[in-house]
Amino acid sequence: MSSPVRGRFAPSPSGYMHLGNLLSMLLAWLDARSLGGELVFRMEDLDPARSKAVYIDALVEDLRWLGLDWDEGFPAPGYAQSQRTAIYEEAFRELKRRDLVYPCWCSRAERLAAASAPHPGERECDGGCRCAHLSAKERLALEASGRRCAWKLRCPDQTITVHDGHYGEIVQNPARDVGDFIIRRADGVFAYQLAVSVDDLMMGVTRVVRGRDLLSSAPRQKWLIETLGGTAPDYCHAPLLTNGSGKLSKRLGSLSTEFFRRNTTAEALTGRLAFLCGLAETAAPVSPRELISLFSWEKIKRDDIAL
């Protein structure tokens, strides 16, 4: 019989992972393993323009090197988002059938932002765009122009509460606080919010552990999963690592795990991460497995962690 607890790794191969990504992976692994659960590894290579084979190879190697194993998933077929378009199509059709989706003709820059997870400072397509309120005549004219449209989800005007396992109650009214958001780009690529919700639902994920920059996405994902007939997972967000200029970014290229793999040992890096996040009292080298019995969300810091 399979275990009822299923966590996941869901990295995006849009750069080399940095220490902050690794901390989230370590905590996702410790959370699932300390509960006697399984882990699914999903490759979030949704955006073909940003996903690179070299980053896919590097992040698989990073996880193996660190000693974070998984029970199911990548590189087995069907666990990369680029292979799951037909599954997203089906959910998209269902949302369309229920009149929860409408075409949006807004600018390309806004559409591009929608395919990746919305990290702070990256604006999502403005919920206030006019596309939801076009007259039949305007809509026909836009359709006839031959310009391709993106597709937006009508946000629910209702209060959604997520009980985050680490940050407590998150209350959001998506219509008011976020606005309608793109679930499919004009180039046909499905957007982050749809793909992640469908995947967590279809893959039977029961625990989502990831950086707290995605905290505000949890209510929308919960709503989408429930709207598609599923039960939302438990969410537990993790603090972010920051340097002098804010949250670590793959684009900075610094503090990448590639660098650490060449210059330190997996145990030394795990010890440093465990100390930084509050799990261990010293930064002494340790393996992820040795941390399982020490793990508790109560020990993990809530504030962002400066390096």
Residues binding ligand GLU (CB under 6 A)? 10-12, 44, 117, 196, 210, 214
Compute the least distance from the CB of residue 214 to ligand GLU, in Å.
5
Compare residues 44 and 180 and give the one whose CB is closer to ligand GLU: 44
Instruction: List the strands of the sheet with 101-104, edge to edge.
Output: 101-104, 150-153, 181-184
Compute the least distance from the CB of residue 265 to ligand GLU, in Å.
25
Compare residues 237 and 280 and give the one whose CB is closer to ligand GLU: 237
Angle in degrees, CA 130, 215, 89, rounded to 5: 55
The residue assigned the tokens 């009822």 is: 4
Compare residues 194 and 280 and give the one whose CB is closer to ligand GLU: 194
Contact 125, 182 (CB under 8 A): yes
Instruction: List the strands of the sheet with 246-247, edge to edge.
Output: 246-247, 241-243, 305-306
Compare residues 49 and 140 and give the one whose CB is closer to ligand GLU: 49
One-letter amino acid at 55 equals Y
Compare residues 51 and 270 and give the one whose CB is closer to ligand GLU: 51
Compute the least distance from the CB of residue 210 to ligand GLU, in Å.
4
Compare residues 4 and 120 and give the one whose CB is closer to ligand GLU: 120
| DSSP H or E segment with residue 271 | helix 266-277
Question: Cα–Cα distance between 13 and 28 in angstroms, integer?
Answer: 18
- Residue 36 burial (C-beta neighbours within 10 Å; 0-12, 13-18, 19+): exposed
Dihedral of the alpha carbons of 162, 165, 168, 170, in degrees to the nearest 10: -20
Compute the least distance from the CB of residue 171 to ligand GLU, in Å.
20
Compute the least distance from the CB of residue 125 to ligand GLU, in Å.
18
The residues that bridge with 101 in the sheet, in sequence order, are 153
Tell me how far CA of residue 44 lies from CA of 79, 179, 287, in angstroms. Answer: 9, 24, 26
Compute the least distance from the CB of residue 199 to ligand GLU, in Å.
9
Compare residues 11 and 271 and give the one whose CB is closer to ligand GLU: 11
Compare residues 17 and 149 and give the one whose CB is closer to ligand GLU: 17
Compute the least distance from the CB of residue 132 to ligand GLU, in Å.
26
Compute the least distance from the CB of residue 69 to ligand GLU, in Å.
18
Nearest to residue 131, comparing CAs of 165, 158, 104, 92? 104
The residue assigned the tokens 């660190």 is: 66
